[in-house]
Amino acid sequence: MSLDSLIDIKNSMDKKEIITVVGAGGKTSFIDSIAQIYRKKSRVLLTTTTKIFVPCEASYENMILLDDISEEELSNLNFVKGITVCGKCINEDNKIVGIDFKDLKKLEDKFDLILIEGDGSKKKKLKGWNDNEPIVYENTTKTIAILDITSYNMKINEENIHRLDKFIDQIGYKNNLYKKLNKGVDVSDLVKIVLNKKALFKNSKGERVLFINKVENNGREAIAREIMKSIIEKDENIKLYFGSIKQNTCTLYK
């Protein structure tokens, strides 16, 4: 199956989806891929509640920066099929600053598909979560969490993991034990990150979906299946997929 199998919208566009994407190891790529799939047949809003780099101009039709328009102008905007990128402003790091829930509500009815990046990971494959993140819009219909399979066996250190201290706490290691062991990330660590209520799916709304990314060979698939088997034994209410954003493939775990 292709990546759009994770989205319920049909060609008739009779059902609106508001999707918040969280996690690490492919969030922006996932959102961009889904947006391009629906670009010609839907009114797509691409936005963030955190910060994202400005996409290339060829990848969207419109950009709205809310600091540059009035409330009246915003309410009068109408959109046709294509991708609209929206943020509060562009900062000095060339990042789009996210919008708040109040402004999202004003835009919601103008689009068929809303894709929100609700988490930041500093381009690292794993992260730990602060108390105020991820930031998930209250009307989200589906929270899709991205987990990078290539983080398996990666050394647990500052170089590889965003907010290392939070990550260590959330996988249950105490007293810097991971340093003494020179530990690599194992299957149980990845399962804990998914299931810990303070981690990957914290603040989730709507249906919970896990996508294990970069599963591009039999070895990685075996690891992904081991992770998903452990998850589903403890929580049957997470829909599980594995595949590759790069290759536009996904498989539902059964």
Residue 76 pLDDT grade (very low, low, confident, very high; cuts 50, 70, 90): confident
How far apart (Å, rounded) are the C-alpha atoms in residues 7 and 9? 6
> pLDDT tens-digit profile of 92-128?
989 999 999 999 999 999 999 999 999 988 889 999 9
> pLDDT tens-digit profile of 181-239?
568 999 999 999 999 999 999 999 999 999 999 999 999 999 999 999 999 999 999 99
Instruction: Quote the tokens at residue 21.
Output: 């994407």
Strands 89-90 and 95-97: antiparallel
Query: 46 with 86: CB under 8 angstroms?
Result: yes
> pLDDT tens-digit profile of 7-51?
866 544 556 899 999 999 899 999 999 999 999 989 999 999 999
pTM of structure: 0.93
Question: DSSP letters along 88-137, please?
Answer: SEE-TTSEEEPPPHHHHHHHHTT-SEEEEE----TT-SEE---TT-S---
pLDDT at 75: 85
List of residues 6+ apart from 56 with CB closer than 8 A: none
Which of 10, 13, 30, 12 minimizes the C-alpha distance to 241?
30
H or E segment at 146? strand 142-148
pLDDT at 16: 82
Residue 176 scores a pLDDT above 70: no
pLDDT at 231: 97
Query: 150 with 184: CB under 8 angstroms?
Result: no
